[in-house]
Structure 1
Amino acid sequence: MREFVRLLLGRRARLRWVHLILGGALAMPYVFVGATAVGPLTGSQNVFGDFGLQLASFAVALPLAAVTSLFPLTRPLESSAVRWLCGVDAERLVYGPARARGAKARTAAWFTLHLGFGGVIAGMSLAVPPFAGVLIALPLFAWLRDSRLGLPEILDRSWALALSPVAGLACLVALAGCAAGAGALLAHLAPRLLGPAPEDRLAAAEARAADLAVRNRLARELHDSVGHALSAVTLQASAARRVLDSDPEFVREALAAIEDTTRRTVAELDTVLGVLRDGDAPGTGPAPTLAGDLDGLLRRVRASGLRVTATVTADPAALPPALSREAYRIVQEGLSNCLKHAAAPSRVTLHITATDDHLTITVENPLGTPTPCRPGGGHGLRGIADRTRLLGGTTEAGPTKHHTWRLQTHLPLKDPT
């Protein structure tokens, strides 16, 4: 019984009833316009005094409502009302104007249903409670029976008079049931008529994919630039601490390398974070490239104690900008892995070569003692694989039969942008 009462008069049912009454209120101007057309056609001077003419005016009003639903604000306003009053999840509705033909047709269908059901339920809400109240009070007050009030003659009989309170309560329950049923039906239809169409879902999926791509790119940039810098600075500081008393010149070089590394990393970090600020321009400068900073990268890595032998037969200045930028990050991450995992003292070989159609990057170092991955770490090779895949290339990484670790990447020589 409690569940039945909740379905008819619970908070959600009451809010949906309010939504229907708002639909009835919206329908009234259209009904008045329909009455101005029905009156002259039927020759009636009092359209609202005849129930049949009222229905005819209502029938004329609904097509007019469907036409005016093409107004751009109709769908946003209706979606907001459905969300708050009908209890429909916000994700299942669209809050922008209807642009496509199908979306406009669905919006017109919804608006017509809202005003149609709303007009009926609003009319019932005005007429049924007074009638039910008279039926309930009829056995108690003789003057009600004497005044007649247009009641059916059957109520003059004693058994009908005794049952009239029951009939009055039944009318109220029927009204609540009609309102609850109409509200539930509209709530069920709302996602279909006001929800996203296939093209809307496709646009939302593309937007999410674009946002995810930007997030992944930012994550790669932060990992490669900041992660490499922290690894290099840690090793430089450790090496400087060990020879602080015996080799002041090395200490000065290490401190200078730390200063240069942190300054460049702060600039790169500002550039990456600039993308996150809505409306902000990029930071202090563009991302580094092979043409712009390969020598500086090798100098900073060597200052960390890593002996790097670099062979560069490709012309970095001739590479497309996007390819040069991503290749720089791949080299940076490869050398960073050597700093963290290679055997010490370690000699690393770097080869950057170009053929007619591919740029090949090879980083090789002796195998060292396996280093446990820190919590949340180990994303460097995955980042390299992601960059390579976006450029249409291939990458391989793993131990060789010569007890070395080799990272080799092949990138097509074309501008990915």
Structure 2
Amino acid sequence: MLRELRAAVDRRARLRWLHLLLGAALLMPFQLLTTSAVGVTGLADGDFRLETQLLAFALALPLVAAAGLLPVARSLEGAIARTLCGASEEVLATPADSWSARRRTSLWFTLHALLGGLTGAISLAAPPAGALLLLLPVLRPHTVGPGWAAPIAEHPWTAPPLGLALLALPVALAFPAGRRLARLAPRLLGPTPADRLAAAQRRADRMAERNRVARELHDSVGHALSAVGVQAAAAARLLRTDPDFAATALAAIEATARDAVTELDHVLGLLREEDDRTAPHTLADLPALLDRTRAAGAPVDYAEDGLRARTLPGTLSREAYRIVQEGLGNALKHAGDAPVHVRLTVRQETLEITMANPLRPPAGRRTRTGSGLTGLRERVALLRGTLDAGPDDAGQWLLTARLPLGSSA
């Protein structure tokens, strides 16, 4: 019992009482409108009689419900409920986009105005009346004029208990009303199934964007670092015995690092959601990539069939470049200076990318140390293509990607 009394007057209860009074303030314009309408139409006599105000109050609630259907109503009521009512974080302070959310907000707005109007009226009327009843025993009966207190003045000993009851009435009403509204807030102002679906779609979009940026970083910067490491090791090994090759490797390191910085600017532009100032690489940039790989010490045999006769969509050309880049990076990382065979073929509305290189003995298999193949599979899947990667019967690592020419959509 003592705990309930403390809860009824603690800070949260006071904020909820203020929340109810704010509901009364939101009701006031509608109440004034219906009061004027009742007076003009003659539905009741006198603007300030109790029956007039009750009728105007009843007529104002449908107007409140109609106003609650506005999308902005959830923004207003959600922010107020989270600040004053102590509602959970599930309460949304965003415009209601669907009719289901609007109907829920309308019901909440009506309840807020209804309970707020009752609480506000009692909070204004009950304390003065309670104070008068507490003072009634010390007042002379003839000082109390005709009205509601006149019958009580004839029995002054009943006035103090009634006065205390009137003083406690606002708390007795505001505490359960505020607690009930706080419990209803997540249900009426929280996300609807459509809101939850939209939130899940936004999360999926963010995850897809993060995966895309991760693939870009891995395929571009990761490839560049792998190539730089191999080139630097080759240059250090042959610096004394073959200065010309070492100079070529150092020049390739410079070109690779410069290209990596450009790629990094492109990816950072994606993260900042800026207009990309650096055009991403396409198959037109493939010769430079092959030259840098050759400079790292890995012989690259390149061939193409039917590629020049077709104009590839931009998206497909960019993704094909990334696939070749990742394949060359894996070859440098796992096979060193082993020769790499790259072939691009266009046939039957399909771009086929085939890459093969010998496996390094004695392992006979690739070591799975990164996420390159996973990123390649995701990239190819987005283009509705297929990817096969693994050792073949001839002891080579074979990577084959097949991309539909219409997959850029």
Q: TM-score, normalization: structure 2? A: 0.88
Structure 1 residues 101, 327: closer, same or farther in 2, change over 3 A? same
Q: Is the 8 A contact 1:107 1:193 kept in 2?
A: yes
Matching residue of 1:9: 9
In the alignment, is the contact (CA less than 8 A) between 2:307 and 2:344 conserved in 1?
A: no
Moved more, 222-231 or 247-256: 247-256
Aligned mates of 1:36, 1:158 — CA distance in 2: 40
2:65 aligned residue = 66
Deviation at 1:154, TM superposition (A): 6.2
SS in structure 1 opposite 2:297?
Answer: coil
Equivalent position to 1:321, from 314, 326, 349: 314
Q: 2-side partners of 1:168 and 1:329: how far apart?
A: 82
Instruction: Give the distance between the partners of 2:140 and 2:275, measured in 1 at CA.
Output: 79
Measure, in 2, the Cα distance between the counterparts of 1:325 and 1:395: 17
- Given candidates 114, 139, 143, the residue that maps to 2:139 is 143
Q: Where does residue 252 of structure 1 map in the other structure?
A: 247
1:362–1:5: structure 2 CA closer, same or farther, 3 Å change rule? farther
Q: Is the 8 A contact 2:302 2:341 kept in 1?
A: yes
The answer (yes or no) to whether the contact 1:397–1:407 under 8 Å persists in 2 is yes
Candidates 351, 365, 375, aligned match of 2:343: 351
Alignment partners' CA distance in 1, 2:43 and 2:401 = 88
The 1:11–1:233 alpha-carbon spacing in structure 2 relative to 1, beyond 3 Å, is same
Amino acid at match of 1:82: A
Deviations 1:120-175 (A, max 9, x none): 0111111222333445555xx522766447437467558746xx44x544444443
Q: What is the deviation of 1:30?
A: 2.0
Deviations 1:41-67 (A, max 9, x none): 45765331x322221111122223333
Tell me what 2:47 maps to. 47
- Asked if the contact 1:321–1:415 (Cα under 8 Å) also holds between the matched residues in 2, the reply is no
Is 1:34 the counterpart of 2:28 in the alignment? no
2: CA distance, partners of 1:179 / 1:28: 18
Q: Quote the Cα distance in structure 1 between the aligned partners of 2:107 and 2:210.
A: 40
Residue in structure 2 matching 1:382, options 360, 363, 374: 374
In 2 relative to 1, CA 144–228 (structure 1 residues): closer, same or farther, beyond 3 Å? farther
Partners in 2 of 1:132 and 1:349 — Cα distance?
A: 96
1:81-138 CA distance string (max 9 Å, x none): 1121112244431412x45444443333332222111100111111222333445555
**Runs of 5+ unmatched residues, structure 1:** none
Take 1:80 and 1:325, find their aligned partners in 2: how far apart are those partners? 46
Q: Distance in 2 between matches of 1:76 and 1:362?
A: 55
Could you tell me which amino acid in structure 2 is paired with residue 142 of structure 1? V
Aligned twin of 1:78: 77
Number of corresponding residues = 403
What letter is aligned with 2:399? Answer: L
Structure-1 separation of matches of 2:36 and 2:400: 82
Query: 1:354 aligns to what SS in structure 2?
Result: strand
User: Structure 2 stretches of 5 or more lacking a match?
Assistant: none
Is the CA contact 2:356–2:397 (under 8 Å) kept in the aligned structure 1?
yes
Change (3 A) 1:347 1:45: same
**2:280 corresponds to:** 287
In the alignment, the residues of structure 2 paired with residue 336 and residue 145 of structure 1 have an alpha-carbon distance, to the nearest angstrom, of 102
> Is 2:269–2:276's contact at 8 Å kept on the other side of the alignment?
yes
User: Does residue 1:340 correspond to 2:339, yes or no?
Assistant: no
Q: Contact conserved, 1:132 with 1:168, CA < 8 A, in 2?
A: yes
2:238 maps to 1:243: yes
**Distance (whole Å) between structure 2 residues aligned to residue 354 and residue 170 of structure 1:** 90
Distance 2:165 2:115 in 1: 21
In structure 2, which of residues 267, 271, 274 is the aligned counterpart of residue 276 of structure 1? Answer: 271
What residue number does 1:330 align with?
323
- The amino acid that maps onto 2:209 is V
SS of residue paired to 2:139: helix
CA distance in 2, matches of 1:144, 1:390: 90
Matches of 1:135 and 1:106, distance apart in 2: 42
In structure 2, the partner of 1:200 is 195
Q: Give TM-score, length-normalised by structure 1.
A: 0.86
Aligned AA (2:345) = T
Could you report, residue by residue, the CA deviation over 1:181-238 in whole angstroms, capped at 9, with x for unpaired residues?
2222222333343333333333333333333222221111111000000000111111
Whole-Å separation in 2 of the counterparts to 1:312 and 1:367: 23
Q: How far did residue 355 of structure 1 move?
A: 2.4
Letter paired with 1:130: P
Residues 288 and 325 in structure 1, CA contact (< 8 A), matched pair in contact too: yes
Using the alignment, how far apart are the partners of 2:389 and 2:134 within structure 1? Answer: 86
Structure-1 separation of matches of 2:134 and 2:399: 89
**Which amino acid counterpart does residue 121 of structure 1 have in structure 2?**
T
Question: Which residue in 2 is equivalent to 1:190?
Answer: 185
Please tell me the root mean square deviation across aligned C-alpha atoms, in Å.
2.8
Q: What SS is found at the alignment partner of 1:47?
A: coil
Residues 271, 43 of structure 1: alpha-carbon distance in 2 compared, 3 angstrom cutoff: closer
AA paired with 2:325? Q
Offset of residue 305 of structure 1: 1.3
Q: 1:73 to 1:320 in 2, by over 3 A?
A: closer
- Residue 385 (structure 1) shift: 0.4
> Does the 8 Å contact 2:65/2:107 carry over to 1?
yes
Distance 1:406 1:168 in 2: 92
